[in-house]
Amino acid sequence: MAAGVRPPPATPRAADRRRTLSRRGGESLWQDAWRRLLGNRLAVAGGAVVVLLLAVAALAPLLAPRHFAEGDFEKTFARPGADFVLGADFLGRDVLSRLIFGARISLTVGMLGAMTAFLIGVAYGTVAGYAGGRADNAMMRVVDLLYAFPSLLFIILLLVVFKLGFGQREDPSALVRAVVSLDRAMGGMLFILAGISLTSWVGLARLARGMALSLRETEFVQAARALGARPGRVVVRHLLPNLIGPGIVQVTLMIPGLIATEAFLSFIGLGVDPPTPSWGAMIAEGITSMRSHPHLAIFPGIALALTMLCFNFLGDGLRDALDPRMKQ
Amino acid sequence: MPALLLGRRACRGIAVLTYLIRRLLWLVPVLGVISAVTFFLMHSVPGNPFDQEDKPLPPEVIARLEAHYHLDEPVWRQYLRYMGGALRGDLGPSYLSKDRSVNDIIARHFPVSFVLGTLSLGVAVVIGIPLGIVSALRQNTVADYVSMFMAVSGVSVPALTLGPLLMWGLALQLGLLPVARWGSWQQAVMPAFTLGIGQAAILARLTRASMLQVIREDYVRTARAKGVSERRVIVHHALRNALIPVVTVLGPLFAALVTGSMVVEQIFAIPGLGDFYVGSVGDRDYPVIMGTTLLYTAVLVIANLAVDLAYSWIDPRIRLEAT
């Protein structure tokens, strides 16, 4: 067939045309992505479990058979059974209840941490990419330096500074006292969130900068500028909306990593304050009695892996749905 | 100009050398900034390392200790003193283990983390890359789906889950391997797998994506068209090119394994440096914190450098450009 010559389009029957129109014609990017997401069975399953976990975490006080800190000293290390569905730990606390309350910590740190990191990273990266030149260069050198910092070491150091610096003695300043009491009220979660947000925005800043750099040269941005739009307006109206799609994907795919980081921090004793249950802290307690009561370390481990798996399936599905070019 | 005088090969050698020197010089500001951030952060915490809640030392003793370790000086002077020592290769004494210097501690515990990291990288490469290749060559078959499901699961199962599971299954139930500690090769198996499986999954996904792209290239079709055996097409033409992006992640991966082995070291009671770091931060053993941070940063930067060099060696089209 000669280039440029197309066969005449076959006239579709009316019913066919209506179906094509209703499926394709009036579909926005988001409807299209939503439809593709629903077609991905693993992503739907992952998303459903995530919603379920969120519900469980939100309704924890109603669903948990006991309070997470309530110990029964005659039932220490009880086997899973009628009394304690998943057994009891070394203080006779119900493992299931602690898992349910632990979901609150994992999900909050994972989701809130990813969102904070996203906001910092996108703000930083967009400004650097859009400003360009010397400002961009300087801002990106900072990012390079942070990249060279072993992130686990940095976050451990930050948490120790927060905990020892704020937590130990009575501080005269009202702000510090407010921060400390807020952290206490959150079971020690505030400092973890701060540490995670401060260390994990760097990758997102690079992504946002790259996108801002390429978007800056597109026709619609040039047009907006030619019409006299100020930089602030261009960034908010034309750059940020284009970052939402990749942003959602990045945030979802970041969540499992942050959940693992929280578990790790609680595992080494820098996470939540006891008796607040965290899956990582439960594994740390369980590992000491691995030989006789392995379920104490294994159940929270399974909860951790299951949650991360669901977020990964959902994130992969979102990526395929929002950016079909990425799909292999 | 130099090409005329020296010939092509020597010229390239010089280019690599200048690149190497420039990249190693980048280490200086990196280590400078990171050491300063770490130093001032840890010194910003009120109090000192000799505060003990249960058995408080008399104030005179604390004053003597502070004077001995120069902790009574202004922080900037302490920093200069520390960096002066570090440049001469002396990372100072450990406050806690009084008979050991930080150099001793690193010499004793870092090799353990290093060996563990290397073994895990081996696990990741040996499992991940073949899995990715098979998955790409059998795209959209059961083998592909199974491998990719395994890969996503591998990414999602953290060491905190896998470690206790392996320990329970292989050591406690089946009695195949020793439960914990470090020394014999049997004791290294579970830690290496615990640490390596997640990275194997990452490598598998990356290899698959890269391989799928490469087998659609013109030169692969040309090789097939001229009658090269399928095996040779895959191994010689496709794989070599598909592995380029895979090799680039090996550097960060290795650094992540060496510096990220803390979880595994804690679970399996392995006397590595990561485990030591966690303890030293809590006890505010300043010189140990500094020494470990500087060492890990150097490992990270050098691992990335090694990869960039390997990169230009595998793919001569890629020129080394100092950034």
Cα–Cα distances (Å) from A62 to A103, B156, B163, in that order, read 14, 29, 32
The shortest C-alpha distance from B182 to chain A (Å) reads 17
Q: What's the distance, Cα to Cα, between the start and end of chain B in Å? A: 23
* Best mutation target, B161, B216, B296, to test chain A (most A CBs within 10 A): B161
Quick: pLDDT tens for A243-274.
888 888 888 888 998 998 888 888 888 877 77
Q: How many Cβ atoms are within 10 Å of B122's Cβ, its own excluded?
A: 12
The shortest C-alpha distance from A264 to chain B (Å) reads 7
Separation of CA A158 from chain center = 20
How far apart (Å, rounded) are the C-alpha atoms in residues B247 and B318? 14
Place of tokens 């002077």: B77
Query: Nearest Cβ partner of B165 from A161, A279, A301?
Result: A301
As a whole number, mean pLDDT of residues A292-316 equals 87
Torsion-angle region of A14 (φ positive above 0: left; ψ -120 to 50: alpha; else: beta): alpha
Contacts of B29 in chain A (CB under 8 A): 145
Averaged pLDDT score across all residues of chain A: 78
Contacts of B33 in chain A (CB under 8 A): 145
Strand partners, A88: A94
Query: Peptide bond preceding A275: is omega within 30 degrees of 0, i.e. cis?
Result: yes
Q: Which two tokens stand for residue B10?
A: 């020597």
pLDDT of B322 above 50: no
Q: How many Cβ atoms are within 10 Å of B219's Cβ, its own excluded?
A: 12
- Residue B126: pLDDT band (50, 70, 90) is very high
pLDDT of A328 above 50: no
Residues of chain B with pLDDT > 70, as a percent, come to 91
Given CB atoms, is A298 within the 8 Å cutoff of chain B?
Answer: yes
Quick: pLDDT tens for A153-194.
888 888 888 777 665 555 667 777 777 777 777 767 888 888
Given CB atoms, is B175 within the 8 Å cutoff of chain A?
Answer: no
Q: Which of B43, B36, B93 is nearest to B69 (CA)?
A: B93
The shortest C-alpha distance from B169 to chain A (Å) reads 10
Q: Which of B258, B267, B285 is nearest to B112 (CA)?
A: B258
Quick: pLDDT tens for B203-242.
998 898 888 888 888 888 898 899 888 888 888 888 888 8
How far apart (Å, rounded) are the C-alpha atoms in residues B155 and A303? 15
pLDDT of B318 above 80: no
How far apart (Å, rounded) are the C-alpha atoms in residues A289 and A292? 6
Given CB atoms, is A150 within the 8 Å cutoff of chain B?
Answer: yes
How far apart (Å, rounded) are the C-alpha atoms in residues A159 and A194? 9
Q: Which two tokens stand for residue A154?
A: 């940095």
Q: Tell me which H or E stretch contains B182.
A: none
- Residue B75, CB-side half-sphere exposure with 13 Å CA sphere: 14
Cβ separation of B267 and A287 shorter than 8 Å?
Answer: yes
Quick: pLDDT tens for A270-288.
877 777 788 888 888 888 8
Quick: pLDDT tens for A65-78.
777 766 666 666 66
CB-defined contacts A:B, below 8 A: 127
> Which DSSP string do the residues of B15-36 spell out, in sequence order?
HHHHHHHHHHHHHHHHHHHHHH
- Residue A19: pLDDT band (50, 70, 90) is very low
Cα–Cα distances (Å) from A267 to A94, A288, A296, B157, in that order, read 19, 12, 13, 16
Contact indicator for B32, B23 with CB cutoff of 8 Å: no
The shortest C-alpha distance from A180 to chain B (Å) reads 15
Give the amino acid at A70. Answer: E
Q: What is the pLDDT, as a whole number, of residue B81?
A: 81
Q: What is the pLDDT, as a whole number, of residue A27?
A: 64
Separation of CA B89 from chain center = 22
Cβ separation of B160 and A267 shorter than 8 Å?
Answer: yes
- Residue B290, CB-side half-sphere exposure with 13 Å CA sphere: 30
Contacts of A302 in chain B (CB under 8 A): 161
Cα–Cα distances (Å) from A28 to A22, A33, A218, B188, B235, in that order, read 12, 9, 21, 54, 44
Contact indicator for B287, B104 with CB cutoff of 8 Å: no
B157-161, B164-168, B173-177: the lowest-pLDDT one: B173-177
Cβ separation of B300 and A148 shorter than 8 Å?
Answer: yes
Cβ separation of B158 and A304 shorter than 8 Å?
Answer: yes
Interface of B with A in 249-268 (CB under 8 A): 255, 259-260, 262-263, 266-267
Given CB atoms, is B155 within the 8 Å cutoff of chain A?
Answer: yes
CA dihedral sign of residues A27, A215, B252, A138:
negative
Q: How many Cβ atoms are within 10 Å of B69's Cβ, its own excluded?
A: 18
As a whole number, mean pLDDT of residues B247-259 equals 80
H/E/C letters for each residue in B144-160?
A: HHHHHHHHHHHHHCCHH
Closest alpha carbon within chain B to A152: B260
Cα–Cα distances (Å) from B192 to A170, A323, B182, B185, in that order, read 45, 36, 12, 10
**Identity of the highest mean pLDDT range in A39-53, A230-244, B118-132, B291-305:** B118-132
3-state SS class at A290: coil
A42-46, A137-141, B132-136, B252-256: the lowest-pLDDT one: B252-256
Q: Which two tokens stand for residue A163?
A: 């905990």
pLDDT of A228 above 70: yes
Given CB atoms, is A148 within the 8 Å cutoff of chain B?
Answer: yes
Closest alpha carbon within chain A to B145: A42
Give the amino acid at A28. Answer: S
Separation of CA B187 from chain center = 21
Residues in chain B: 323
- Residue A5: pLDDT band (50, 70, 90) is very low
Cβ separation of B297 and A260 shorter than 8 Å?
Answer: no
As a whole number, mean pLDDT of residues B146-154 equals 84
Determine the angle formed by the axes of helices A151-167 and A240-267, rounding to 10 degrees: 70
Angle at B31 between CA B28 and CA B37, to 5 degrees: 135
Separation of CA A189 from chain center = 15
Q: Tell me which H or E stretch contains A39.
A: none
pLDDT of A60 above 70: yes
Helices (H) and strands (E) in chain B, counts: 14, 0
Quick: pLDDT tens for B102-122.
888 888 888 888 888 889 999
Longest dimension (CA), chain B: 86
Place of tokens 């994990």: A200
- Residue A242, CB-side half-sphere exposure with 13 Å CA sphere: 19
Place of tokens 């303890």: B279
Q: What is the pLDDT, as a whole number, of residue B122?
A: 92
List own/partner pairs for B56-59 with CB under 8 A and 24 or more apart. Answer: none
Quick: pLDDT tens for A190-211.
888 888 888 888 888 888 888 8
Q: What is the pLDDT, as a whole number, of residue A25?
A: 52
Give the amino acid at A186. Answer: M
Averaged pLDDT score across all residues of chain B: 81
As a whole number, mean pLDDT of residues B55-64 equals 76
As a whole number, mean pLDDT of residues A114-139 equals 87
